Structure 1
Amino acid sequence: MQNEKLHLLQHSFDDLIEDIEGSLQEENEAMIHYHLLRAYRMRTRIQEFQRTEAQSREYQVLKAEVDKKLAEWHIWLAKLFEQNHDIERAELHRLTALQYHHELPENYFQYAHVTLRKNLLKVDREITENMDYVNKSNVHEVLAAVRRAKFAVRVAESEGTKTDQTNYVLGWIDEMEKAIENDKVLSQFTQENPEESESLEQVLAEMNQLIGLHEVKNSVKEISDWVVFNRLRQDQGFKSDDLSLHMVFAGNPGTGKTTVARLIARIFKALGVLKKGHLVEVDRGDLVAEYVGQTAVKTGKKIQEAMDGVLFIDEAYSLTRSSQNDFGIEAIDTIVKAMEDNRQRLVIIFAGYPKEMDAFLKSNPGLRSRIKNHIHFHDYTVDELMDISTLLLQEMQYKMEKDAQDILRNILQKSVLKNPHTHGNGRLVRNILEDAVLNKASSTVSDVNNGMTGIDLSLLDADIMRVIEREMTEGVSSEQRRSRAIESH
C-alpha cells in the first residue's frame, strides 16, 4: 500500500512535469499557475506522507525533486517577466525560487540584482547616477531593497565561494547605503514615521475577525494588556515584571496557530516590544543538520533571521523524538540560550499537537521554566468550518449553490465524527474546496470540448460536491482524488 502511494505520487509528478513544461514553452501563464497549484498541493501531500509513512526517506527524496522543479519553474517565470520589464513580479518569482531551492548561491545573486532593478538601481552605474532615482517619496523602499540585496549577496557568499563579483556588489551596496544616509535631504526621511505604523487596535480588530478561537483571542488580549500595564508601571517608577513573552501553542492541525502567530508578531511590533514584528516559520528540518556541530550553526542562522521578530517552531516536539544520538537536543540547547540572551529582541513560539507538546515540555524542564504563556487552540465546530468555507470561497472568487453547501456540511460532519482529533479543521475545508476546484476545472474543460457554452466558471454545484462526498466515503485520499481529476482532464 505504501509503495502504491509512492508510485502514484511519482507518476503524478512525471505527468505534472510534462504538463507544466509544455505550458512554459507556450508561455501560457494561466495554465502555468494552474499546474503550479497542482505542484503545491502535491508537495503538501508528500510532506504529510513523509511524517506518517514508514518510507519517509523515499518521500524526502521525492519532495526534494519537487522543490528543485518548483525553483526551476519560478526562475523561468522570473526571466519571462524580466523580459517583459515586469520587475515587481520577477522579484516575487525569484524570491519564491529561493524558498524551494536555496542551496544555489546563484539564485541569491540573481534575486539581489532583480530587487535593485525593481527600484531602478544598477550596480554597473555610478553611485551619483543611481542617486538621481532616489527621492524623499521612495527612499524607504530603496533602502529596504538595498538591504535585501545585501542580505542575499551575503547568503550567496556564505553558501558558495567569495569572488571578485560578490566583493564588488557588496562594496557598491555599502557605498549606496552611505550615500543615502549622508544626503542631508534624504536622511530626514529615512527614519520610520510612527504615524504610519500599525496600531495595536488595528491588529486586535483583525484578530477579532477570525472565526472561532474565542479563548485564544482572550489569551492574546491578556498578554497585550500585561505588556501595556508593565509599561505604565515603568513610566511611573514602579518595579515591573521581567517580560518573558515566549509561548506554547497547543492544538491540532488547521486550528489557526500560524495565523495567530503572525498577528502576535504584529501586535508586539505595535506595542514597541519588537522592532520588526516579522514571523520566521521553521520545523525540525530547518534547524537540525546531519553532522556533529552543524545543528548549532543551522539553528543560529534561523534565530538571527528571526531577530526583532517571532520564531515559530512547528511540531517542536520532533526535536526530541528520535534516537539518543539525534542532533535535535543541540538545536534545543541553542534555542534555550537564545531565549535567555535575546529576550528583548526575540519571541519564540513552540507549536504542535497538545499531548506531544505536553510530553515535550515535561522532558525539557529548563525550556518549560522559560515559557509562561500557554495557549490552547480548540478544534473548530462544524458551523465554524462552514463559516471558514464561506471566507475561503470569497478569497478564491467562487460561489457554492445551496445544495452543494448542504453536501459540504454533511462531509464535514462525517469527517469530524470519524476523526474527532485528526480531521484537519480549516485545512480539511481548504483541501475539500481545492479538490472541488480541480474537479470543476476538469468537468469544464470536458464540457467546452463537447461544444458547451455559457458555463459559470465561478459556480461549484451539487454534482461537483457529490463526487467528492462519494470518494471520501469510499476512502479515496485527497491525492488520489486530484490524480483522478487530472487524468480526466
Structure 2
Amino acid sequence: MASQGFGFPRQAAARPHRLAPQRAEEPVEEPETPVTLADDAELDLSADEAATRVEETLAALDAELVGLASVKRRVREIASLLQVDRARSQFGLTSSKPTLHMSFTGGPGTGKTTVAMRMAAILHALGYIRAPRVHVVTRDDLVGQFIGHTAPKTKEAIARAAGGVLFIDEAYYLFRPENERDYGQEVIEILLTEMENERGNLVVIFAGYPDRMATFFSANPGLSSRVPHHIEFEDYDHAELMQIAELMVAEENFRFDEEAREAFADYLTRRMQRPNFSNARSVRNAIERCRLRQARRLVGLDRPLGKQDLIVITAEDVRGSSLFAPAADG
C-alpha cells in the first residue's frame, strides 16, 4: 500500500474586476485538478501541513486559557471532524460539507471571544474559511431604528464577516417577543437565509448567558436546527482564578509578593460572592486597580526606586480595595 501525507488546498486569491494583461513569457497557471487516491492508499494525517498549524493553535489556546477542559475538547473534536472530512475527499468519498455554526454559552469573562478567535484560526488552517478573522457584533450593530434600516445593517455586518466568523454577543437580545414592532426578528430571518446559503463562506457563533440562550433557541427552532455545535463555558473556580491572576500579573512584568498573593486570594473569595462578578474580566480589572494603588504608593515613598520596587505588588496594594473596608455601623 502506498502511504502519503497530504495538504489541504490553499484558498485562491480573489480575482480583480479586470484582469491585468499577461506577458508572453508568463504562462497562465491552470488550477490543479484534485487527484483521487487509490482504494488501497493510506493518508498520514500527522504529515498534513495544516495539522501543524492546527496543533500550534490548540497549544496557544491551552496556554492562553486556564481550565475549560470540556471547551478545549470540543474544539479538538471539531478540528478532527474537518481533518477527517478532507481526508475522505482525497479518496473521492463525497458528503455534505459540515455545518459549523455554533453557540457559546457562559458567563462574562469565561473566554468565549478568545476561543472564537482560535476557532477561526483552525477553520482557516483547514480551508473551511478564507480568513482567520472574527467580526464581533451586538444587537445595536444589526437592528435598525426604523423600517428599511435593519436589512442593510445586518447585510453589512455579514459582508464584513464574509469568509470568516460572525460572532454575535448576547444574541438573545435580537428576540423581543414583548414588542411586536421590534426589528430583531428581521435580523434572525436574514441570518437563517445566509447561514444556509453561505455555509462554506461564513460561520456564525451566537453567544450569551446559558439560560437566556436556551430561551432564545427554543423560541426560534429554525435557527436552533442550523446550530449543531453548542459549547458551554463554565465559571472558573477560585484556584483557576488565582492561576489566571498570576498569569496576568506575569504578562505585565509584575509579581505578587507572598503576602500580596494571600491578600488577592482573600479578595477573590469576597469578590466572587458579590453581584456582577465576571470571572477573568473581574480579575483583570482588580489587577489594574492594584497597579493604580501600587503607583500611588511608590510616588508617595519620595525616594529613588529600584527595579524590584516597580515589579512587586504588595498586600497594601491589594487590601486598599473597598472590599476590605469595614462595614459601616448600623
Is the pair's TM-score, using the shorter chain for normalization, greater than 0.5? yes
2:96 aligned with 1:245, yes or no?
no
Q: Distance in 2 between matches of 1:326 and 1:298?
A: 15
Q: Distance in 1 between matches of 2:186 and 2:325?
A: 42
Contact 1:230–1:241 (8 Å) recurs in 2: no
Please point out which of 59, 67, 74 is paired with 1:212: 67
Q: Deviations over 1:377-402 (max 9, x none)?
A: 00111111111111111222211111
Residue number in structure 1 paired with 2:8: none
2:79 aligned with 1:228, yes or no?
no
1:386-465 to 2 correspondences below 5 Å = 386-419=242-275, 422-447=276-301, 451-454=302-305, 456-465=309-318
Q: Distance in 1 between matches of 2:24 and 2:322?
A: 65
Deviation at 1:406, TM superposition (A): 0.6
Q: Distance in 2 between matches of 1:426 and 1:469?
A: 19
Deviation at 1:472, TM superposition (A): 7.0
Structure with the larger RCO, 1 or 2 (CA within 8 Å, 6+ apart): 2
Structure 1: segments with no counterpart, 5+ residues:
1-143, 148-172, 189-193, 476-489
1:294-309 to 2 correspondences below 5 Å = 294-309=149-164
Deviation at 1:213, TM superposition (A): 0.5
Letter in 2 for 1:262: M
Q: Distance in 1 between matches of 2:207 and 2:298?
A: 41
Q: Deviations over 1:265-296 (max 9, x none)?
A: 00001111111121111111111121111111
SS in 2 for 1:225: helix
Q: Distance in 1 between matches of 2:268 and 2:99?
A: 39
Residue number in structure 1 paired with 2:54: 200
Residue number in structure 2 paired with 1:266: 121
Contact 1:339–1:346 (8 Å) recurs in 2: yes
Deviation at 1:446, TM superposition (A): 3.3
Instruction: Specify whether residues 474 and 318 from structure 1 end up closer, same or farther in structure 2 by C-alpha distance, changes over 3 A only.
Output: farther
TM-score, with length taken from structure 1: 0.55
Q: Deviations over 1:390-447 (max 9, x none)?
A: 111122221111111111111112222445xx42110110010011112222333333
Deviation at 1:198, TM superposition (A): 7.0
Instruction: Specify whether residues 437 and 392 from structure 1 end up closer, same or farther in structure 2 by C-alpha distance, changes over 3 A only.
Output: same
Worse-superposed segment, 195-204 or 370-379:
195-204
Please point out which of 360, 369, 375 is paired with 2:231: 375
Q: Distance in 2 between matches of 1:305 and 1:266?
A: 17
Q: Distance in 2 between matches of 1:318 and 1:472?
A: 37
Q: Distance in 1 between matches of 2:304 and 2:323?
A: 28
SS in 1 for 2:103: strand
SS in 2 for 1:457: helix
Contact 2:271–2:323 (8 Å) recurs in 1: no
SS in 2 for 1:348: strand
1:32-111 to 2 correspondences below 5 Å = none
Residue correspondences, number: 292
Contact 1:411–1:469 (8 Å) recurs in 2: no
Q: Which runs of 4+ in 1 moved over 6 A?
A: 181-185, 194-198
Q: Distance in 1 between matches of 2:271 and 2:218?
A: 32
Contact 1:436–1:464 (8 Å) recurs in 2: yes
Identity of aligned residues (%): 37
Contact 1:216–1:377 (8 Å) recurs in 2: yes
Residue number in structure 1 paired with 2:319: 466
TM-score, with length taken from structure 2: 0.80
Deviation at 1:310, TM superposition (A): 0.5
SS in 1 for 2:310: coil
Letter in 2 for 1:282: V
Deviation at 1:360, TM superposition (A): 0.5
Q: Distance in 2 between matches of 1:238 and 1:174?
A: 35
Deviation at 1:257, TM superposition (A): 0.3
Letter in 1 for 2:310: L
Contact 1:198–1:270 (8 Å) recurs in 2: no
Residue number in structure 2 paired with 1:292: 147
Please point out which of 309, 312, 333 is paired with 2:189: 333
Please point out which of 302, 309, 317 is paired with 2:172: 317
Contact 2:260–2:314 (8 Å) recurs in 1: yes
Structure 2: segments with no counterpart, 5+ residues:
1-12, 30-47
Q: Distance in 1 between matches of 2:61 and 2:248?
A: 17
Letter in 1 for 2:204: I
- Higher fraction of helix: 1
Letter in 1 for 2:245: S
Worse-superposed segment, 344-353 or 452-461:
452-461
Instruction: Specify whether residues 474 and 261 from structure 1 end up closer, same or farther in structure 2 by C-alpha distance, changes over 3 A only.
Output: farther
